[in-house]
């Protein structure tokens, strides 16, 4: 049987603003998304029938509620595929963390099945299909750095982070994205991001100016419930991060460093308390088919 191995990477948000809400309760956002070199390995194998998910992380469902399962089911139905697929996910990206770990798995399945079954779909077509699964899936297919508008699906590529180290720290708590948005009150938001200004800092590779401009309005909800988020941010700043901010709806916190030694010192300190701490780089691409 045919099979493929893929690397699917996490993302962080360099900014998040919420502009309003649609009638279907989806929030309208404007944010800057950045792929990072923290990835899950996904193996996709063609089988005679059915869809099977296997994962080495106990918190990841292996039934039809898994978004990777939904991606395979959607492709099979959309293109009348009579074969089945076994999907094995080796998780490195923390779960329920604001890093698009589930969405990037779904993106890998779409990209992988397009290759495995020779569907000849373009990247844009795959992104359109991915949007039916979740708002972050199109970006996970695109990869790199992009402005995201609408519900996150209107993507514009821009220059990304470079020559920096990114420290990722996920405390041992689970946060519901739905809960965060339901509890967001923009009247409690004291500062909002200037997207044009952040894009300019990335164009000019002015990392300090970028750090000074980063804002995530969702922090007003999540960090007020979970003290760990503020504590992690304070530790990163203490160890000379240029800035530290929550990614997505949390609870993961990241810090931007322009000095490798500072970043490594911060990592060592945080790892004493938080096992899921990673030092990574920005990444320019999307889903990677190995071999």
Catalytically annotated residues: 11, 136
Residue 216 carries which DSSP code?
B
Crossing angle of helices 101-116 and 67-78, in 10° steps, is 30
- Which residues lie closer than 8 Å to 3 by C-beta, 6 or more apart? 43, 44, 45, 46, 116
The C-alpha atoms of residue 275 and residue 243 are separated, in whole angstroms, by 21
* Range list of β-strands (E), 150-209: 154-157, 165-170
Q: How far is CA 19 from the centre of its chain?
A: 20
The C-alpha atoms of residue 262 and residue 98 are separated, in whole angstroms, by 24
The C-alpha atoms of residue 95 and residue 138 are separated, in whole angstroms, by 19
Q: Which of 142, 146, 144, 143 is nearest to 157 (CA)?
A: 146
Nearest 5°: the CA angle 130, 50, 135 is: 15
How many other CB atoms are found less than 10 A from the CB of residue 269? 15
Pseudo-torsion of CA 248, 252, 258, 260, nearest 10°? Answer: -150
Q: Which of 249, 251, 248 is nearest to 277 (CA)?
A: 251
Main-chain phi, psi angles of 16, to 5 degrees: -145, 125
């Amino acid at each position: 049987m045919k099979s493929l191995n893929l690397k699917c990477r996490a993302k962080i948000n360099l900014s998040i603003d919420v502009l309003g809400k649609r009638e279907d309760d989806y929030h309208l956002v404007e944010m800057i998304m950045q792929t990072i070199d923290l990835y899950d390995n996904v193996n996709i194998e063609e089988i005679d029938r059915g869809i099977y998910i296997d994962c080495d992380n106990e918190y990841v469902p292996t039934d039809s509620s898994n978004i990777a399962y939904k991606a395979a089911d959607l492709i099979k139905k959309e293109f009348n595929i009579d074969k089945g697929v076994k999907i094995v996910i080796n998780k490195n990206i923390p779960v329920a963390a604001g890093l698009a770990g589930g969405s990037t798995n779904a993106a890998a399945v779409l990209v992988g099945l397009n290759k495995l079954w020779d569907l000849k779909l373009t990247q844009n077509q795959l992104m359109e299909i991915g949007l039916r699964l979740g708002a972050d899936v199109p970006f996970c297919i695109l990869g790199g750095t992009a402005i995201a508008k609408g519900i996150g699906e209107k993507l514009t590529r821009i220059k990304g982070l470079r020559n920096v180290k990114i420290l990722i720290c996920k405390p041992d708590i689970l946060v519901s994205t739905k809960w965060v948005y339901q509890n967001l009150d923009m009247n409690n938001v004291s500062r909002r991001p200037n997207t044009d200004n952040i894009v300019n800092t990335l164009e000019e590779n002015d990392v300090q100016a970028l750090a000074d401009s980063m804002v995530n309005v969702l922090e007003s909800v999540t960090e007020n419930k979970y003290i760990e988020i503020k504590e992690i941010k304070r530790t990163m700043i203490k160890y000379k991060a240029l800035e530290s901010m929550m990614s997505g709806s949390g609870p993961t916190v990241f810090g931007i460093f322009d000095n490798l030694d500072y970043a490594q010192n911060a990592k060592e300190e945080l790892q004493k308390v938080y096992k899921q701490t990673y030092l990574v780089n920005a990444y320019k691409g999307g889903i990677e088919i190995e071999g």
